[in-house]
Chains A and B, each alone.
Chain A
C-alpha cells in the first residue's frame, strides 16, 4: 500500500510531503524528567535544529510533545506536523497544540501557525522524521479494544515480541474513526510543588473525553535499546572483597557469580515467565540479586548457629597470613563499637528525659493555654477584635433587646503570675474585664405589701447579699463571671423598661419610681413593689447588708415571669418586623397596610398601635396572684370555721398567668350522695371573680373578699334547704312549698333566707324549714289537730273528721336535737314523724 492513499489532515503539508517514507528516523527529544517532578524551564528545542542534528535537514516531522511554553506563555500539549527548513524548501508549520481553556476549563485545540511562526517545542518530544517521500507503509486496522492495553502499547508489544532484543521504532499516524477516547491535557500552569507519584500527576493533569474522529501521531520504539544495555552494565562483581563474617551486605562475594551476560539465558526456578525471560532487560539484575539473597540467607543461618555455640564454634584459624591482617581490624571495630554504645546510651537517656518534659509541658499548655481558653470563650460568647484588643458582647441585642447599654467586655491575658511560685489551682490564663456597672450580682425583687409604708421608707430596699453562685465544676471562672454580668444587664434592662413605662403610663393612682424601686397600687391598701437589687462586690456594701438579712416576701413567680416577659419582648422586636408582600411595599405591619384599603376606623387603628407594656402585664399578674391567694384564704377560713355544711375546694393545677379556676363543692357529711345541690366554679381573673353556678347562672364578684365570703355563706344556707328537699324525696315526703329567696320574715344582712315545707307521706305532719345565712335555721313542725291538746275547741269545727286537719306549728328546739349535722337531724325528725302513719 502506498502512502499516497493516506489523507493527512494538513493539506498544505500534503503538497510538500507526499508520504512518510525515505530515511525514516525516530528522535527522542528531552524526556519526562524535565517535566516531572518539577519542570525544567531551560529545556526548549527548535525542530529545525533537531532535523539537522539527526542528519536530515528538511525532514518532515510528526509526533507528539509538549508545547513551546516559551512562546505561548503557557503549558500545552503539542502535535508537531512540520516540514523543516532545507535549502530548497521553506519551512512549514502545520502543528497543533491543545490546552485547557481558561474560560470554561474545556479542552481547546488550536493551530499553532495561526498564532506563532516559530518552530519550537519544549521539554519533551517523540518525533518521527522522514524525507516525506511516498513509499510503503503498514496499515493497521483495529475494530475494538479487547484488553487493558491501549492501541499503541499493543503495537509496541507486538514489535517487541517479534524483534526481541532488537529495538525497532515505528511512527506515523492513525485515525480514530468511531467512539470516544479518554485523553489528558496538561494544564496551563506547571505544578509548583513536585509531583512524585502517579496519583499526583493524574490530579495535575486534566482528563477529557474526546469524540472521534481524531487524528493521532504516534511514535514509539519496541524496546529501549539503552535500558537493556544499562541494566547489563550494572556490575555486581565490584565487592569490597572482605570476609563472610563481616556481613558486608549485598555487594558481598562475587567469585562464583555467573557473568552478567551469560545469566540472561538462565531459567528461573520459580518460572515467572511473562515474556521470554531473555527479553526482559532486568533479567540479569534480578538473577544477581536472587543469588545475593541466597548467599545472605546462608550467611545468616551460619551466624545464628555460631551464636548458639552448640554445633559450631569459631576459633581463630591458625593461619599465619590472615590474623595479623584481621586482628587490628576487629579490635578496632570492637573498641569503636563499645565507645559508640556508651555514647548512644547517654544520648538515649537525655532524649528520654527531654521527651518527658516536652510532653509534660504540652499537657500544661493544653490546659492553661490562653489561646485554647480563648477558643472556648469564643464558643459561648461573641467576640471581635478592635485594634489590639479583643472585645466581647454580652448584651442581648442579637436576641432583640433594645437596651442601649453596649454590654462589651474585654478579654485580657492574665499575666500577673509569679513564675517561681506554684501555680494556683484556679489559675486561668484568660481573664475578662467587665464594665464596672455590671459587676456583682443583681436580681429583681417583687413583693406585695398590705400596708403602705411611710414615705421615708421609699426607695430604700434592703440590699442583702446573696452568695455568688458557685461555678459549676469544669466550667472556667470567666463563664460564671460573664453569666453574672449578663444577668445584671438583663435585670437592669427589665428595671429600665419598667420604670420607663411607670412614668409613661397614666393610671388612676400614679406609679411611683424612686431610686431602685417602683411602687404601684393594684388594689386599695395594697402595694406592689418591684425593686432592682444590685450588690457590687465592694466590702462596704457587704458590711451594711449582712446586718439586715431577713427573709422577705418575695414573689418568685412574678420575678420569674418578669424575666419571661422581657424575653418575650425581645422576641417580639425580632419577629414583629414582617416582610412586606408584595415585595416592593415598605416594611411595616400587614394590618397597618390593610387599614387604608379596608377602611379601618379610629378604634381599630388605635388597637393596632397599643401594646401592653411590661409593667401593665406584671401588675395584672400581681393582681391575679393576689386575688387568687385571697380567694383561697377566704375559702379556707370558711371551711375551717363552718363545719356544717362542708366546703371543698378543688384548685386546678393548670393556670393561666391571668386566670385560674377553682371548683367549690358544698356538701353535708354522710349525705354526699344525695345532696349534690351546690357546685360552683370560680374563675379568678385579674380584677374580679366570676362564679359559674351549676345551673348556668353567672355571677360576677369584685376583688373584695367580703363579697366572696357573703356569697359563699348564702350558698351554704341555701344548701341546707336543698338538702332537705333531696332528703324528703328519699323519705317519701311531699314538698309543699320551696323558695330560695323568702320574702317574709326578718331581713338578712347578707343574701336571702330560703325556706321549704314538706308534708309527711300520710299528710298528717308537715315540717317547715327556714334557713338564713345570718339568722340560722328555724324548724317548725305542724301536728294534726287531734294531737293538739291545748287547742281550744272551736265552735265551727265540731265534726270529728275535722280533727284530722293539721293544727298549728310548733318550733323544734333544734340545738337540742340529736345528730351530728343538720341533714342527719332532719332525717331523724322525719323518721320520728313518719311511723305515725303506719
Chain B
C-alpha cells in the first residue's frame, strides 16, 4: 500500500500511537474479526465465545477513521476551512479526560476499554468505548475501519471497572475543536500528558501539533461512507492530509 508520511506528521504519530494504540480483541479465537464480542458486565466473567455476529442496535457498529495532523501555527487556517466546509453551527470546543483500562486475562493481549469524560461540560454522561482491531482493507475502502461499541455511563464508571479487575494503563487530556458534516465527525485536538496521575490540572502538551481525525460511526458493511470521507478529506488538502494510518506499521 502506498503511504507517504510527511516528516512533520511522523513525529506526532508515534507519540500518538503510544496512547491511541488499539489492542486486538481477546476472547476471539478464530472467529471473523467483523463479528462483535459482547462483554458481559453483569456476570463479571469472560463471555462465552460467540461465533454468531450480533446484529442490530448500537452493537454492531463500525468506526471509519482517517487521521492526520497539523502544526500549531496552521491550526487557525484549518479551523477556518472547516468552519466553511462543515455544517452551519457554532464551532464547539471540547476538553476531555480519557482513561484507558486494561483487563489482563489468560491471553497474551489484554482487553482494553476507554473511559472518557468531559471536563468542560457539567452533567454530560461518561463515555465508555470499546474499539476493535483496526482493519486496513483494500484500496477500494478509503478509511480505516474498526469495531466500536459506545455506551454512556454514570460517573462512577472508574470504580466499577476497578472492581471488575481492570487497571488503568494510562490517561491523557484531549483539548480541541469539534465539527460535523452530516454523519461525519471531525475532531481537531491536542493531547496533553498528565503530569501527576489523577490530577488533570497539571498537564503538558505532548507535541507541537494537533491531531485531526475524521470519523464516521456506521453499521457494518456500509463502506460507501468511506467515499464521502475521502471526498471530504480531499477538500481539506493541502491544509492537512488525512490518510488511513495503520497503527501496526508505526508500532
Which A residues fall within an 8 A CB radius of B? Answer: 398, 574-575, 577, 579-587, 590, 593-594, 596-598
- Collect the chain A residues with CB atoms within 8 Å of residue B187's CB: 583
**Alpha-carbon distance A586/B183, docked complex (angstroms):** 10
Interchain CA distance A598-B123 in the complex, whole Å:
11
Bound-complex Cα distance A167 to B185 (A): 76
Within B106-151, which residues are at the interface with A (CB < 8 Å)?
114, 116-118, 120-121, 123-127, 129, 150-151
Q: Say whether B192 faces chain A, with CB atoms less than 8 Å apart.
A: no
- Contact code string B179-192 (vs A, CB < 8 Å = 1, else 0): 01001010101000
A554 to B24, CA, bound (A): 67
Residues from chain B with Cβ under 8 Å of A590 in the complex:
123-125
Judged by a CB distance under 8 angstroms, whether B217 is at the interface is yes
A584 contacts B180, C-beta separation under 8 Å = no
- Bound: A398/B94 CA distance, A: 26
**When the two chains form their complex, are residues B125 and A593 in contact, meaning their CB atoms are under 8 A apart?**
yes
Of B89, B114, B125, chain A has the most CB atoms within 10 Å of the CB of B125
Does A586 contact B150, Cβ atoms closer than 8 Å?
yes
**B89, A583: Cβ atoms closer than 8 Å:** no
Contact (Cβ within 8 A) B89 A581: no
Give 24 pairs: A residue, B residue, CB < 8 Å, sorted on A: A575-B89, A579-B89, A579-B94, A580-B127, A581-B120, A581-B121, A582-B96, A582-B117, A582-B118, A582-B126, A582-B127, A583-B176, A584-B98, A584-B127, A584-B150, A585-B116, A586-B58, A586-B217, A587-B185, A590-B123, A590-B124, A597-B125, A597-B152, A597-B153
Q: In the assembly, what is the distance between CA of A594 and CA of B124, in Å?
A: 8
The B interface is mostly helix, strand or loop, or mixed, namely strand
- Asked if B129 and A584 sit within 8 Å, CB to CB, the answer is yes
Chain B positions 73 through 90: 1 when the CB is less than 8 Å from some CB of chain A, otherwise 0? 000000000000001110
Q: Is B214 an interface residue (CB 8 A)?
A: no
How far does the Cβ of A238 sit from chain B's closest Cβ, in whole Å? Answer: 65
Q: Which residues of chain B come closer than 8 Å to A583, judged between CB atoms?
A: 94, 96, 116, 118, 174, 176, 178, 187, 189
B118 near A577: Cβ-Cβ < 8 Å: no
B154 touches A598 (CB 8 A): yes
Q: Does B45 contact A (CB under 8 A)?
A: no
Q: Using a CB–CB distance below 8 Å, which chain B residues touch chain A?
A: 58, 87-89, 92, 94, 96, 98, 114, 116-118, 120-121, 123-127, 129, 150-154, 174, 176, 178, 180, 183, 185, 187, 189, 217
Closest Cβ–Cβ distance, residue B231 to chain A (whole Å): 15
Q: A582-B127, A584-B150, A586-B150 are in contact. List 4 more A-B contacts (CB 8 A).
A: A579-B92, A583-B94, A585-B127, A596-B152
Question: Is there contact, CB below 8 Å, between B116 and A596?
Answer: no
Q: Are B180 and A581 in contact (CB under 8 A)?
A: no
A575 to B92, CA, bound (A): 13
State the CA gap A575–B183 with chains docked (Å).
14
Which residues of chain B are near A585, meaning CB under 8 Å? 116, 127, 150, 152
CA A590 to CA B126, docked complex, whole Å: 11
Q: CA–CA, A585 to B115, complex, Å? A: 10
Q: In the assembled complex, which residues on chain A have CB atoms less than 8 Å from the CB atom of B58?
A: 586
Please judge, given known A-B contacts A582-B117, A582-B127, A584-B129, whether A593 and B178 are in contact too, CB under 8 Å: no
Instruction: Give complex CA distance A584, B115 in Å.
Output: 10
Q: A587-B183, A590-B124 are in contact. Are A582 and B94 (CB under 8 A)?
A: yes
- Whether B88 lies near A398 (C-beta < 8 A) is yes
3 closest A-B pairs by CB = A597-B154, A581-B118, A593-B152
User: A574, A584, A593, A597 — which one has the most chain B CB atoms within 10 A of its CB?
Assistant: A584
Given contacts A584-B127, A593-B125, contact A574 B89 (CB under 8 A): yes
For A583, give the chain B residue with the smallest CB separation: B94
How far apart sit A583 and B176, CA to CA, in the bound complex (Å)? 9
A598 to B154, CA, bound (A): 7
Q: Is the CB of A596 within 8 A of B180?
A: no
Residues of B within 8 A of A586 (CB): 58, 150, 217
Chain B nearest CB, measured from A400 CB (Å): 9
With a CB–CB cut-off of 8 A, which chain A residues contact B178? 579-580, 583
Taken together as a complex, chains A and B put the C-alpha atoms of A581 and B185 apart, in Å, by 12
Expressed in whole angstroms, the minimum distance between the Cβ of B235 and any Cβ of chain A is 15
Q: Shortest beta-carbon distance, A588 to chain B, in Å? A: 9
Nearest A-chain residue to B118, judged by Cβ = A581
- Assembly CA distance A583 to B129 (angstroms): 12
Partner of B151, one of A577, A582, A596, A598: A596
Contacts of B152 in A (CB 8 A): 585, 593-594, 596-597
Contacts of A574 in B (CB 8 A): 87-89
- B196 to nearest A CB, angstroms? 21
* In-complex Cβ contact of A584 among B87, B114, B183 (8 A): B114
* Contact present for B153 and A596 (CB under 8 Å): yes
Q: Tell me the bound Cα distance from A584 to B127 in angstroms.
A: 8
**A490 to B36, alpha carbons, bound, how many Å?**
45
From A575, which residue of chain B is reached at the shortest CB distance?
A: B89
Contacts of B121 in A (CB 8 A): 581
| Cα A584 to Cα B98 with chains together (Å) | 10
Bound-state CA distance A492–B187 (Å) is 38
